[in-house]
Chains A and B, each alone.
Chain A
Amino acid sequence: MEVLNAIFVLPFVDMFSEPIFFAEVVVGGLLTGVMYSLVALGFVLIFKASGVFNFAQGAMVLFAALTLVGLMEKGVPVWLALIIAAGVMVIVAVIIEKLVLRPLVNQPDIILFMATIGITFFLEGFGETVWGSDIHRLDVGIPDAPFEIGGMLLNEFDIWAAAIGAAMVGGLALFFRYTVIGRALRAVADDHQAALSVGIPLKTIWIVVWSVAGFVGLVAGIMWGTKSGVQFSLSLIALKALPVLILGGFTSIPGAIVGGLIIGVGEKVAEIYWGPLIGGAIENWFAYMLALVFLLFRPQGLFGEKIIERV
């Protein structure tokens, strides 16, 4: 009885007795969720366009952030460093397309997945060889001061992160909807062969998609880097983006956003209200368990296409 009480009653009593603290937790979760979404976005873009499950997205985030911070430490102004870092991500995309994806056309998915794990190792090693493995402080001039709304303590930076995340999603949605390349991307995502037969160059599209994923990685890298320093562990947040993908569906951009928010909030709330009951630090696996349970009821995710065959 006491156990049930502790699990099903007390946490809710806590929530309602201190609504402001609860709101703070939720908002904090939402803001972390935005960060997860940013990483998940890169996955979705590549999966949609090329069907590749790109495990290297986390490494791309790390590599982009390392390049940016490395350039800035050399004294390059922020705007120039941003442009160069973006350019480097395009070069990475071209190289990956030429050396890895092209020879592996028509191979099973698992083989492509393995190749992206290889890319992960290479990018991690390469980034750290060039820029060193210390923790770098990144400051691109986003204001970072705490302030209060209705008794809640918030961070200006988090609001900026949310705004930038929202802007990126909006921008990507417009890009996919209204530009020629965007339309070509959607065509490729729907059907490779049909897209080829109406004259859409698959090579170029893949380079564009990987570059865009690289830009998204750069933005995610700036956000995470500013928050916790640019360091090796950045490439591990890719793993956190996976449950987000499951929740949102592998092929849905809005899904990545909503999934990220749900995971962010769920994780924080569970950690604070239920975590102490079972020893704490449940943040590490809660997202995966949530995704696992979710999968049992809705395998295609919240917004995903119903591509999964019933087995």
Chain B
Amino acid sequence: MLYRESGQYKTNYADDQAIFPLKQDRWLMAIALVVAFVVIPLTSSEYMLQAVIIPFLIFALAAIGLNLLAGYCGQISLGTGGFMAVGAYAAYKLATSFPDLNMIVVFLLSGVVAAFVGIMFGIPSLRIKGFYLAVATLAAQFFLQWLFNKVAWFYNYNPSGTITAPPREMFGFMITGPAATAEARYMITLVVVVVLALVAKNLTRGHIGRSWMAIRDMDIAAEIIGIRPLHAKLSAFAISSFYCGVAGALFVFTWLGSVETEAFAITVSFQVLFMVIIGGLGSILGSFIGAAFITAVPILLTNAPQFFGFNMPIDLQKHFEVMIFGVLIIFFVIVEPHGLARLWQIAKEKLRLWPFPY
């Protein structure tokens, strides 16, 4: 009743190919954007922004990156953390070497650097696939982490070995560095994430995305209908790494402010993989849902015992958290192997008939 296409006529091709062909979807999207751009910065506390919302956005971006590769092109990668590190260190080097460069340009360029590294580590994908490829991408993860730890040039010979986001401003506001307010950092992250998510959505609807999906579904058939696996796979690696790289740059510049290589350890790669799988392989919306789930659950688990009045030692609680997290992953994988995005799809089908089912 509330959510159906009847009465919405499409009179030209542009309408037919719109990202959100339904009026209701457009309304929902508009409301979501208003909430994100106006309501959240006005109402959220500093803690909320810093601990929940900014990491959610950054991880959503990384999850979109991995989803383009794993969900759309079918190449599993465990090197996400490594590619994020490339983006972070590239952004640091760029921002410190060219202090006058616009920060948006810095973020995008660091994504480009990550894309090149991604292509290099994507070359094995031309010969292997599945778990062999997953293990091969672990090489990227460990090698890159080691590289950024060992070569002092990457952190400007800083004795502590950390990289710190230099203070930079844009439109008269500080957006990075210690003086930047959480709101300013949130806004810049949001703009980057929204624009890149839109680009990703369009990529997957177009020629490139379709060639990726063809490769994912059956590589030999794809080759026969004229898709070049070399181009499709390497472009998937490049664009995926670009997204991960930008996410890594934001990770340092608008979230933590100062990190070591440990921040991009293998656990980050797994976290992003969880987001993609729990959210839904091959769905941009799923990347956001998955990122929201994986960032929110640990926080809820940490706060739940106090909320219910239990008091337990910190270490015991930490172990419980890990346990429950594991159970939740198994649960979701069993109940909905296609991810939470699939639940939304089912809900939409139901809403078409609601409240008068046949």
Question: Could you list which residues of chain A lie within 8 angstroms of chain B, going by C-beta atoms?
Answer: 53, 99-100, 103-104, 107-111, 113-115, 117-126, 128-129, 133, 239, 242-243, 245-246, 250, 278-282, 284-285, 288-289, 291-292, 295-296, 299, 308-311
Contact = CB atoms under 8 A, between A and B. Distances in A.
B127 A310 contact: yes
B127 A288 contact: no
Contacts of B130: 109
Task: Output the residue of A104, A114, A128, A289 with the most chain B CB within 10 A.
Answer: A114
Query: What 7 A-B pairs come out closest when comparing CB atoms?
Result: A121-B326, A125-B323, A122-B326, A125-B322, A288-B139, A118-B329, A285-B142
Contacts of A129: 316, 319-320, 323
B119 to A, nearest CB: 15
Given A111-B337, A133-B315, A295-B127, A242 B135 contact: yes
B335 to A, nearest CB: 9
A117 to B, nearest CB: 7
A285 B334 contact: no
A53 B328 CA distance: 20
A119 B277 contact: no
Interface stretch (B47-55, B143-151, B251-259): B143-151
B203 interface: no
A125 B321 contact: yes
B336 to A, nearest CB: 10
A100 B334 contact: yes
B270 A295 contact: no
Contacts of A295: 124, 127-128, 132, 136
B131 interface: yes
A119 B270 CA distance: 14
B169 interface: no
Contacts of A119: 326, 330
Interface in B114-168: 124, 126-132, 135-136, 138-139, 142-143, 145-146, 149-151
Interface string B256-299: 00000000001000100110010001000000000000000000
Interface string B315-358: 11001111111111110011001000000000000000000000
Contacts of B138: 239, 242-243, 288
B131 A124 contact: no
A243 B321 CA distance: 30
B191 interface: no
A53 B131 contact: yes
Contact of B319 (A128, A242, A299): A128
Nearest to A279: B150
B131 A113 contact: yes
B142 A114 contact: no
B318 to A, nearest CB: 8
B319 A296 contact: no
Interface-central residue, A281, A284, A288, by most chain B CB under 10 Å:
A288
A118 B333 contact: yes
B229 interface: yes
B253 to A, nearest CB: 27
A289 B127 contact: no
A114 B145 CA distance: 24
B1 to A, nearest CB: 35
Contacts of B319: 125-126, 128-129, 133
B29 interface: no
Nearest to A244: B135
B340 to A, nearest CB: 14
A110 to B, nearest CB: 6
Given A121-B326, A122-B330, A126-B323, 8 more contacts: A115-B330, A118-B329, A122-B322, A125-B319, A279-B150, A282-B146, A292-B124, A292-B136
A304 to B, nearest CB: 9
Contact of B325 (A99, A111, A121, A239): A121
B329 A114 contact: yes
Contacts of B322: 121-122, 124-125, 128
A53 to B, nearest CB: 5
B76 interface: yes
Contacts of B273: 114, 117
